[in-house]
Amino acid sequence: MSRTPRLSRIVGKGLIKSYGPTVALRGVSLTIELGKLLVIEGANGSGKSTLLGILGTVIKPTAGTVVYEPLGDDLLAVRAEIGWVSHETMAYPDLSGRKNVELAARLVGLDADEAWKRAATRFELGPFAERPVRTYSRGQRQRIALARALTHEPSLVLLDEPTTGLDKAGVSRLLAVVDEEVARGAAVVVVSHEPELFRERAGARLVLDRGRVVEAVTG
């Protein structure tokens, strides 16, 4: 199964975010194209996670807009098109990996058993599937997080520091998933302190410095 992405383009304009006295974003504009990888780079505190949070609709900008073409501002429809993997795994720690994936599938109206079988094969979840997620290693947690986030074949895939703590095999597996998602037609946005890992496959690149775009390469 592979469904057609429902988003065609995501356009952010004049994004500003203040957390009290701290200004995390100072007027960021960007266009995200489907079927491409965008890598967001920048030093600690430059606003990368904040920007990702705004794109993922979990952080409200102080000013500026994000338009999810052609869905506009229908938040429920837009959220159904987003797959998100952050520093935290976003999985329920006391449930098994299998239950976590099944739950994610049910939440979006998919057949839980079919979704599980697809994810188990794609992310090689079998060996640890029945144990609670709290017993997983970093790499295993990340495989479950990816499986959960990608179950519904989102148009926009947001990955915050996805290589942190992964070994070589884990990084290779992640890069293969990124390639597959881009080939499927999704827009993949990666925030990373290891941009060189993604550079040769990145269609576009955005560098932030203290809340401003200092370099933008469109692919």
For binding to ligand ATP (CB under 6 A), which residues are involved? 19, 22, 24, 42, 44-50
Q: How far is the CB of 134 from ligand ATP (least distance, A)?
A: 24
* DSSP character at residue 72: B
**Which element (helix H / strand E) includes 123?**
helix 112-123
Beta carbon nearer to ligand ATP, 22 or 137: 22
Task: Output the six-digit token pair for 50.
Answer: 């904040």
> Shortest gap between Cβ of 189 and ligand ATP (angstroms)?
13
Helix (H, G, I), strand (E, B) or coil at 161: coil
| Tokens encoding 101 | 């994936």
Q: Considering the complex, state which of residue 23 and residue 112 has its C-beta at the smaller distance from ligand ATP.
A: 23
Nearer to ligand ATP, 45 or 126 (CB): 45
Cα(104)–Cα(208) distance, rounded to whole angstroms?
A: 33
Q: How far is the CB of 24 from ligand ATP (least distance, A)?
A: 3
Cβ proximity to ligand ATP, 22 vs 135, nearer residue: 22
Rounded Cα–Cα distance for residues 169 and 59 (Å): 33
Which are the contacts of 121, defined by CB distance < 8 A and separation ≥ 6? none
In angstroms, give the least distance from the CB of 28 to ligand ATP: 11
To ligand ATP, the closest distance from the beta carbon of 48 in angstroms equals 4
The answer to whether 98 and 125 are in contact (CB under 8 A) is yes
Q: Where is 213: in which H helix or E strand?
A: strand 212-217
Is the CB of 185 or the CB of 195 nearer to ligand ATP? 195
